[in-house]
Amino acid sequence: MNFRPILSFLEEDKIRTTQPHDNALLITLRIRDCNVKRVMVDGGNAAEVIYPDLYKGLRLKREDLVPYSSPLMSFDGKAVIPKGMIRLPIRTDPEIVEVSFIVVDTYSPYIAIVGIPWLHTLGAVASSLHQKVKFPSEDQVLKIRGYQSMTRQFVVTAISHRLDADPSASAKKNL
C-alpha cells in the first residue's frame, strides 16, 4: 500500500505569523543552483514567471530561451510581451521539479512567481494565511515557511514604484 500523508493547516501553523494579515506568500527557493529569495507563491496563477534580476543572476542568455509570445499583465497594469520561456529546476529537498518559467523584462517587487504548475507538480498546498507551503515527500509532510515581514516591505516598495511610474498618481500624491 502506498501511504500518502494528508496535507492540512491547523491553528498551530499560524504561530510566528502576525494575524490578522493580508500578506502574499513570499518564500526562498533553490532555482537551478541558487538560493532565490523573494519568490511569490500565487496559487491562482497559471504560469511561473522570472524577472530581470533572476534572469541576469542566473547568467541566462537569449539563446537559452524558447519563443513565448502571449502577453502578460505587469504589476503596474500594462501588457508585457515575454522575452521567452525556459525550463529550470526547483529543488525543495529532497524533491526536484522542472518548471517552465516565462521570462519578462518589467518591474516586479519579486524575483520570481511560482503558481499552479509548480504546486501541482510538487503535490503541494499553499496557504498565505498560514504563510506556508506544505508538500508530501515519501511518508512525511515537508513545509516551506514564508517571510511575512519581507512581504510587507515589498508591498510598500511596489506601491511606491507604481506612484513614481504613474504621472497622474504622482500629481495626486503631491496634492
Give the residue from 146, 147, 158, 36 showing the smallest Cα distance to 99. 36
Domain CATH code at residue 133: 2.40.70.10
Q: What is the pLDDT of residues 119-168, one digit of tens each?
A: 999 999 999 999 999 999 888 999 999 988 776 666 666 556 555 555 44
Q: Would residue 60 count as lying in a domain?
A: yes
For residues 110 and 40, is the Cβ–Cβ distance under 8 A?
A: yes
**Whole-number Å distance between alpha carbons of 108 and 112:** 8
Q: What is the pLDDT of residues 66-83, one digit of tens each?
A: 999 888 887 677 888 999
Q: Would residue 27 count as lying in a domain?
A: yes
Q: Output the pTM of the full model.
A: 0.82
Q: Would residue 6 count as lying in a domain?
A: no
Q: Would residue 104 count as lying in a domain?
A: yes
Q: Would residue 11 count as lying in a domain?
A: no
* Structural domain boundaries enclosing 136: 20-173
